[in-house]
Chains A and B, each alone.
Chain A
Amino acid sequence: MTNEQQSLVHARGLTKRYANGFTAVDGVDFDVRAGKAFGFLGPNGAGKTSTMRMIACSSPVTQGELRVIGMDPRTQARDIKSKLGVVPQIDNLDTELTVRENLEMYARYFDIPRDVANRRTDELLEFVQLDERAKDQVEPLSGGMKRRLTIARALINDPELVILDEPTTGLDPQARHLLWERLYQLKRRGATLIITTHYMDEAEQLCDHLVVMDKAKIVAEGSPRQLIDQHSTKEVLELRFTDAVRDDLNGQLDGLADRIEELPDRHLLYTENGERTLEQVNLRQIPVESALVRRSSMEDVFLRLTGRSLVE
């Protein structure tokens, strides 16, 4: 019970099965703590969006326990929704309204008094750096601007919990960084965020706590640092070979690293010290086309846990 009171979202054995029999979420347990950024990391089809839709009360829970802000989505959906901000995977801005009208109309859906709505609209447009586009239509905005407007819209009711489903998918790097910066600001103000993503860098940048999902289940959980420490080595040596060398390797790399992953285009050698491992490779006189030493990332954790890449 104490557990439940501290967490904004409390799930035990949470399950989503669709009418066609497909199980999208299969008995997952997790707790989202207030003031933290909580991430769901996993490939497409892992069950992230289905979990988010249940939390947002837009998809009924099939089985298990779910409390959102201390309430039951089955019976208190309206009250929960009034305290949530939702940024969906695909933009659903009202393209027949202007930028400003999008926020004002959304405020009306929450029954926010007009003067409060006007003030918040001004603040939020400034926050997402769209104040100069307030009178423009939505359609000509860039993808990054639309996302920012969607985020501003999700904040119009001053939500206790903000749910972001793949907030930066499809954006160019510059737009992503601007968005991350805004989300980071939001976090500093004390907002609780739930983020789904299949980008490891996004998860590492934004999330205090992560669950890794694969095939409808949670396969690991912890802070990004903890997950990397638990499931990967400190460093990774990436090696590329010419096709001839590659076909002729016959286990020559054996014993050089804690673990070796063979990907279609390169070999990953998991080791505590990449430079030293590279020296040993050179000592064995294996002709390397290119070599790269880097720190372990969430991508490596995911590969370790599921045997597959995150972005396929």
Chain B
Amino acid sequence: MTVLAASGRVWQRNWLVYRRLWHRSLAFGFLQPVLFLTAMGIGIGALLTPASLEAFGGVPYIDWLGPGLLAAMAMQTATFESTYPIMNKIMWGRNYEAMLSTPVGIRSIVYGELAWTAFRIGSLAAVFLVVLVLFGIVRTPLAILAVPFAMLIGTAFAACLIAFTATQKNDVGFSAIFRFVINPLFLFSGTFFPLTNLPEPLRAVAWATPLFHGVELVRGSILDQLDPLTAPLHLAYLLVMFGVGAWFAERTLTRRMAG
């Protein structure tokens, strides 16, 4: 059995569990953006004057916010999926120990889990995109690119977080990750307001963080504003993050599982 085929089996195992709950997951994936866009987009957007909308590139606030939330959803879902469930499979439920008694190897586990994250986030992003269409936010058929962009954001974060999770002896580190990494990224990556509003040094920091690049890609594709000059750079950033994360994930998980 090839590494690829074995990765497929790891994916299949997750599907076997998920197929009993997929409708619930997708219903939640639909409801969440509807609530957010109603509350923040319509509620707060109505308070903005035409002059202040200049900062959002002249589009209504809800149109600007929606794609940003889609990108952030990809990050948050990937983070959650790569912490507790992976920890469970390492030490509480010992699923990986069981898999490693078969021809399935560590590399297949890492790539199978990442493929699973890609699938989960792809399906949630598609539902999210439907919501954006219903809200009249989508400007172009190219918006479909937001789905693979979200999958890339998700797997890039998932790869790094699996690498981190494999080094943890308990779940204490996870709340630190959520508090000090994921929440700041959620707030300061151009999801809710343009980075140009930040003071200069902070803006540079925000530019260096990963979610910003994901937000730019997703928003660009949905609002038909993809810049052929900067888009490849955003893409390259996330691809490198994915590659480095996956490399580390294989190493830390190997160290953890084969003592």
Residues of A within 8 A of B (CB): 18-19, 56, 58-60, 77-78, 81-82, 84, 86, 88, 90, 92-97, 101, 105-106, 108-111, 154, 157
Contact = CB atoms under 8 A, between A and B. Distances in A.
B81 to A, nearest CB: 14
21 contacts: A58-B257, A59-B258, A59-B259, A78-B105, A81-B101, A81-B102, A81-B103, A82-B103, A84-B101, A88-B101, A92-B98, A93-B98, A101-B16, A105-B16, A106-B102, A108-B12, A109-B104, A110-B1, A110-B103, A111-B9, A154-B101
Contacts of B97: 58, 88, 92
A86 B16 contact: no
B53 interface: no
Interface residues on B, range: 20 to 34
A108 B103 contact: no
Given A58-B100, A94-B98, A111-B103, 5 more contacts: A59-B258, A94-B95, A97-B13, A109-B9, A109-B102
Contacts of A94: 13, 93, 95, 98
A272 to B, nearest CB: 47
Contacts of B94: 88, 90, 92
B5 A111 contact: yes
Contacts of B13: 94, 97, 105, 108
B145 to A, nearest CB: 33
Nearest to A85: B101
A127 B136 CA distance: 60
Given A58-B258, A59-B258, A109 B95 contact: no
Contacts, number: 68
A81 B101 CA distance: 6
Contact of B259 (A18, A88, A96, A110): A18
Contacts of B1: 110-111
Ordered nearest first, which 5 A-B pairs have the shortest CB separation?
A92-B94, A109-B102, A86-B101, A111-B1, A92-B98
A106 B101 CA distance: 10
Contacts of A157: 102
B6 interface: yes
A56 B101 contact: yes
A95 B257 CA distance: 20
Nearest to B85: A96
Nearest to B14: A96
Interface string B95-126: 10111111111000000000000000000000
B9 A97 contact: no
Contacts of A88: 94, 97-98, 101
Contacts of B229: none
Interface of B: 1, 5-6, 9, 12-13, 16-17, 93-95, 97-105, 257-259
A95 B16 contact: no
Nearest to A95: B93
Contact of B6 (A92, A93, A106, A109): A109
A82 B6 CA distance: 13
A88 B1 CA distance: 24
A60 B6 CA distance: 21
B101 A58 contact: yes
Contacts of B9: 105, 108-109, 111
Nearest to B257: A58
A60 B98 contact: no
A97 B99 CA distance: 14
Contact of A60 (B5, B100, B101, B258): B258
Contacts of B100: 58
B103 A109 contact: yes
Q: Which of B6, B93, B257, B259 has the most CB of A within 10 A?
A: B259
Contacts of B257: 58
Contacts of B98: 88, 92-94, 106
Nearest to A101: B16
A110 B102 contact: yes
Contacts of B101: 56, 58, 81, 84, 86, 88, 154
Contacts of B259: 18-19, 59
A76 to B, nearest CB: 11
A89 B100 CA distance: 15
B106 to A, nearest CB: 11
Contacts of A106: 98, 102
A111 B100 CA distance: 14
A92 B95 contact: yes
Nearest to A104: B16
B122 to A, nearest CB: 22
A107 to B, nearest CB: 9
A143 to B, nearest CB: 16
A282 B53 CA distance: 106
Q: Which of B9, B97, B101, B104 has the most CB of A within 10 A?
A: B101
Q: Which of A105, A106, A109, A111 has the most CB of B within 10 A?
A: A109
